[in-house]
Chains A and B, each alone.
Chain A
């Protein structure tokens, strides 16, 4: 977490993975891991496909993906790390093939990417609805002549996308009357082209979800024969949101902070009745409040602001939703705010440091945390679980 007020203007790497397990299995044999390195402006991701299915495959995939990620995390060269793994992976005695296949991606925010593939289907690179071909360098294992790594060094432009998948995607429908040879990489490319031409704004999460789903629809009798995983990496101009919550410590700077808030070049959210009153007063903007619904106060409407909600209760509920997304459809301010967080890549909090004396009331529920603790916890989960960039500024 960065404790600084400025939000950088470089590109953002939106990365996500969608998986559907093999029918009748209770876990996935494909493992996707990714980590963002904010200081280095870099994301590393691994998609590993463990041999077979179920728990055994999951353990094999986990081992491979975790080792690769750790190697690279420790500052080792990604190609060297992949080579060590390739040379080390044991061979299944029965099938005579290695225990897992993998794709490692090392992407910098300037668009330079290194991709190393061993056994997984070739990645797909889309630019403006056109598939770009990249030339690999082939590295043969020193120990196993049958093992070859494909290494690519490419430069992505803003709005380019990379699609990685396990063979569950390219082999979907294999043997069916319609697709004897399976969906194949060509099917994946055509589907992605159509999808992106129709929906150029698709998030990585949604694109990955749709591809995985489309692959499983190819399977006969809805029987998914293999774990099916799609990972999407999208380099794009970041989508940003600023959340102003809590009254500023120095009242005389209310106007300055309100001006900064309203001039923010992205979505704007106010969490807190007093904060909303300050912005309304300082900017001379009217607000209208809706009736509370259920167990959270309602929202208000103010010109130029995307969401105006109550503060601590709503933020606490947002934290709950981020930790455990609600299984049923709920419509409240916290769901709206959680959705805004999901739609944006860079999330800034401007947290007012003034304490509300009313919170010292002996009747005040003890389980309600103070604002900065909740914001910090939200920031942590947005960074760790949802791979967002988060900044907090106390004012």
Chain B
């Protein structure tokens, strides 16, 4: 099974508005989930500059944008992707 890409934005806006907590994502996952995902840190996804997306921090799970991302929201999205 292809791993799920989880891109975390560590650009300034995302980092300041809560994204710094997302560096703990990997530690919050159980081993089963860890094996199924591929965490990709990004220096900036560029979403905060788009007026349509003004809710940093951002994470992309398999290319799908999560705004106001928290570890809980990201884990839920990963689980949805696995179940699909």
Residues of A within 8 A of B (CB): 272-274, 276-277, 287, 289-293, 295, 297-298, 300, 308, 310-313, 356-359, 361, 363-365, 368
Contacts and interface: CB of A to CB of B under 8 A. Distances in A.
A361 B15 CA distance: 14
A289 B43 contact: yes
B13 interface: yes
A361 B46 contact: no
B16 interface: yes
A357 B49 contact: yes
Contacts of B23: 291-293
Nearest to B56: A358
Interface in B1-53: 10-13, 15-17, 20, 23, 39-44, 46, 48-49, 51
A277 B46 contact: yes
A290 B43 CA distance: 8
B76 interface: no
10 contacts: A289-B43, A292-B20, A292-B23, A292-B41, A297-B12, A313-B12, A356-B48, A359-B13, A361-B17, A364-B13
A81 to B, nearest CB: 50
A154 B34 CA distance: 68
Given A273-B12, A274-B11, A310 B54 contact: no
Interface residues of B, number: 21
A308 B44 CA distance: 12
Nearest to B25: A291
A348 to B, nearest CB: 22
B20 A287 contact: no
Nearest to A297: B10
A358 B10 contact: no
A291 B15 CA distance: 12
Contacts of B10: 273, 289, 291-292, 297-298, 310
Contacts of A311: 12
A289 B20 contact: no
Contacts of B12: 272-273, 297, 310-313, 356
B41 A356 contact: no
Contacts of B40: 289
Given A273-B10, A292-B23, 12 more contacts: A272-B44, A273-B11, A274-B49, A277-B43, A277-B46, A287-B43, A289-B40, A289-B42, A297-B12, A297-B43, A361-B17, A363-B17
Q: Which 9 A-B pairs have the closest CB atoms?
A: A273-B44, A358-B48, A273-B43, A273-B11, A297-B10, A358-B13, A292-B23, A289-B41, A289-B43
Interface string B62-83: 0000000000000000000000
Nearest to A314: B12
A365 B17 CA distance: 9
B54 A361 contact: yes
Contacts of B48: 356, 358
A323 B13 CA distance: 25
A276 to B, nearest CB: 5
B75 to A, nearest CB: 17
Nearest to A300: B43
A295 B10 CA distance: 11
A279 to B, nearest CB: 11
